[in-house]
Every structure is written in C-alpha cells, then in structure tokens.
Amino acid sequence: GHVDRIHDVSISYWRDAVTVRDAQYRLVYRVGENGPHDLELYDIQEHPDPIKNLADDRTDVVQRLIAAAIARQ
C-alpha cells in the first residue's frame, strides 16, 4: 500500500480497503462496484483503540473523509 497526505488527512490503501485519518477521526471502508461500503469511523482522540463505530452517527465526517480520499485518486 501507499500513503498520501492532503489538508492534514492521511490516506492509506491496502487491497480493497481505504483508511483515511485526520487529527480526530479514522475512517476505514472497502471499495466495491457500488461505491464505499463496510464503513467504520472511530474517534481516535477520544479512544485511540477502535471501540465504537460512529459511521452511522457521524455521516458528515464519513462523507468529508471519503471526499478527501476520492480527491486524491
């Protein structure tokens, strides 16, 4: 895999998975024919270890981080 940085966002790619991190959140998702799926969003400032998946509650953050990843493709 490789890592790119844009606007304090770190993007990592591994097989069909993408990880996008900023100062507060880490988003992990898989890329498929119908777009991103299996979304996992964690607040890494509150809990450095992945404890609670916030993807359903923080769709605004999910969309922002996915947009950052797509902008770098």
* CA dist 2 → 11, 20, 41, 49, 57 (Å): 8, 12, 20, 22, 29
The encoded tokens of residue 4 equal: 């790119």
Does the model's pTM come out above 0.75?
Answer: yes
The set of residues, in sequence order, having a beta carbon less than 8 Å from that of 59 and lying 6+ positions away, is: none
pLDDT digits (tens, 9 = 90+) for 21-36: 999 999 999 998 998 9
**CA–CA dist 23, 45 (Å, integer):** 8
Long-range contacts at 33-36 (CB < 8 A, ≥ 24 apart): 36/66
pLDDT digits (tens, 9 = 90+) for 26-73: 999 999 899 899 999 999 999 888 889 999 999 999 999 999 998 877
pLDDT band at 7 (very low <50, low <70, confident <90, very high): low
